[in-house]
Chain A
Amino acid sequence: EVLLVESGGGLVQPGGSLRLSCAASGFSFSDHRMSWVRQSPGKGLEWLACIKQYGEEKYYVDSVRGRFTISRDDGRNSLYLQMNSLRAEDTGVYYCARGFKPDYWGQGTVVTVSS
């Protein structure tokens, strides 16, 4: 069974940083691209970033490029999202998902950016 479990969310002040993690199991993690997607309160889904196998290429949406960094550790079957210079509009549920066109999703971790 494919399982994705996010962690690392919480309350952070504007301008602060946070690092999200996603532990993957039930499939060959290193064989798959992985993505982060967020959902702002009461809003729709927004794709944020994707990392290719072996981390050789990374792709970002314009709104987070330069502030967020996606990375992976295939030895730990883990995906990460380093978020810097956080803004109020970054508040939301952050999902880890398998693939560039996601097929499996985690349950999400909540990030709140507020003073």
Chain B
Amino acid sequence: QSALTQPASVSGSPGQSITISCTGTSSDVGGYDYVSWYQQHPGKAPKLLIYDVYNRPSGASNRFSGSKSGNTASLTISGLQADDEADYYCSSYTSSVTLVFGGGTRLTVL
């Protein structure tokens, strides 16, 4: 049950768009449309941004969007804002009937 692979860090300027990747295997990301994305500010609990690859929960900003191709899922944040600076985690259901998270990506808004 290895963690999904995410870049350790990404950065962007206010107003720009960035994309965070999340790579797994055919036993998790590639095998199921059950990828979620979370935002976590320091000292806070994670907050759900995207579920089932591209769905947004009610109340989530439409600046966040998700997609998937093969074994890699992606989170795109458009119109970057200062408050977007946080850690982002992906997760996926697995064939072992478990959930696996990515290692997390630190987003810096320049």
Output the least CB separation between B76 and chain A (Å). 20
- Is residue A50 within 8 Å, beta carbon to beta carbon, of the partner chain? yes
User: Is A46 a contact partner of B93 (Cβ separation < 8 A)?
Assistant: no
B102 CB contacts on chain A under 8 angstroms = 44
- Is residue A55 within 8 Å, beta carbon to beta carbon, of the partner chain? no
User: Is A103 a contact partner of B51 (Cβ separation < 8 A)?
Assistant: yes
User: Is B36 a contact partner of A45 (Cβ separation < 8 A)?
Assistant: no
- Is residue B45 within 8 Å, beta carbon to beta carbon, of the partner chain? yes
* Distance of A50 Cα from B100 Cα, bound (Å): 12
* Distance of A35 Cα from B101 Cα, bound (Å): 14
- Is residue B48 within 8 Å, beta carbon to beta carbon, of the partner chain? yes
| B23-55 interface bits toward A, Cβ cutoff 8 Å, 1 = contact, 0 = none | 000000000001010100000111110011000
CB-CB under 8 A for A101 and B51, given A47-B98, A59-B98: yes
B66 CB contacts on chain A under 8 angstroms = none
The range of chain B's interface size is 20 to 34
* Distance of A103 Cα from B34 Cα, bound (Å): 13
Give the contacting residue for A101; candidates B1, B45, B89, B99; CB below 8 A. B99
CB-CB under 8 A for A101 and B93, given A47-B98, A59-B98, A108-B45: yes
Give the contacting residue for B99; candidates A50, A95, A105, A106; CB below 8 A. A50
Give the contacting residue for A106; candidates B1, B45, B97, B98; CB below 8 A. B45
Give the contacting residue for A45; candidates B34, B47, B48, B104; CB below 8 A. B104
Interface residues of B (CB under 8 A from A): 1, 3, 34, 36, 38, 44-48, 51-52, 57, 89, 91, 93, 97-104
